[in-house]
Structure 1
Amino acid sequence: MNENTTGSPDTAAPLSGAKAAATIVFGLIAIILLAAAMPARVKLLGLFPVAFAALIGYVFGRVAMLAGLRRRGVLVPLTTIVVAAGLAGYYTESFRRWRAEREQYYADHIGRQPGGKQILQRLQGNMLSADPLMRQFDDPYRSLLYPSFTEYLDQRVASLRIAGRNIRVASPWPLVLFAAELMIGTVAGLSASLAASRRSRTPTTGKVTA
């Protein structure tokens, strides 16, 4: 007698807690680095971070199900933490890459100016002059070489084009957009995770044949 029993679409062996944790951590790092390295034309404002968060949520939901994590009361907060960590890592790595490129560009530019090498030595060596006038002289160069995260957010929308026209977006809208991406991305990631868990729990009925 051949028997097809009720089962689930996932036939992979369950993951242990340690393997699931390692898969999530290393997978999250890989996704963050890959997403941050994407060309700027791909990373559309308001869309790419949300899709990125949804991908993280879906992958986490699948891994969690393989690890036997099925209680929604545990899955929801864990997914929220993982998605938030992924978004934080994405923005941090994107900022780091942008800042490094900007520092290299302005360092080359400043270094070609008279006295530029001395300025770079002071700034890159983090040496503060005892002379207030000298510190005041160095401040504009310091802001060029070491921009803040707020400046990065401003830069993301500085050249925004709508209907072929450049649109200047003033503060605080870059920060508002950033906050909206975080909130919508977290919701998208959570929804994708729950969808993955529902798909994993959906049984497939079979039949018994003699």
Structure 2
Amino acid sequence: MDFFDILLPVVVLGSMLILLALGLEIAWSLAIAATIGLVFFLDQPINQLAYTSWSTLNSFTMSALPLFVLMGAVLSNSGASEYIFDGIEKWLGRLPGGLATSTIAGNAIFGAMCGSSVAATATFGRLVYPTMEERGYQPGFALACIGMGALLSPLIPPSALLIIYGAWQRVSIVALFAAAIVPGIMLALLLMLTVVIVASLNRN
């Protein structure tokens, strides 16, 4: 193995970690580290960076991603997510661990609208966690419900992750959505059942 083959990942990864430690945002740290590797270690001209960036983003399929981000921001800041959660809690609130069960169901519906686990975590963490603390939920259990519920967003269509995977592997997005919807609903139901069982066994 050539010396530069070993040096390249060390320098790129090291520069990224240094930039992150200095407080630079993740996106800029990744971009600068990748540019360093491209310019100093690869036999590619600098215009290859611009071409690769443009060819990746210049995709009809990938144009859905910023719309997902916009939808998540609208739901999070408009108060619509609160109405969704309040409606779900009226249906599921009487179950053991009703608030936690409603959190899982709310995350599933939220994911079906924006497809972003980060947006779901931020929204329900701000919306639900203080209420769960007030009602005596253990912090670990409350955070686990919010985190596991947010993981439904990349699975339940429409999913940003499935769009990226389909565009990368040239797989039909519609086929991926059709294949993911049943497992996503089943996983949501199983998580809700788990919450009900745990809450029934631990009334404290």
Q: Under TM normalisation by the shorter chain, which class is it?
A: under 0.3
TM-score, normalisation: structure 1: 0.27
Higher relative contact order, structure no. (Cα contacts within 8 Å, ≥ 6 residues apart): 1
Larger-gyration structure (1/2): 1
Larger relative helix fraction: 2
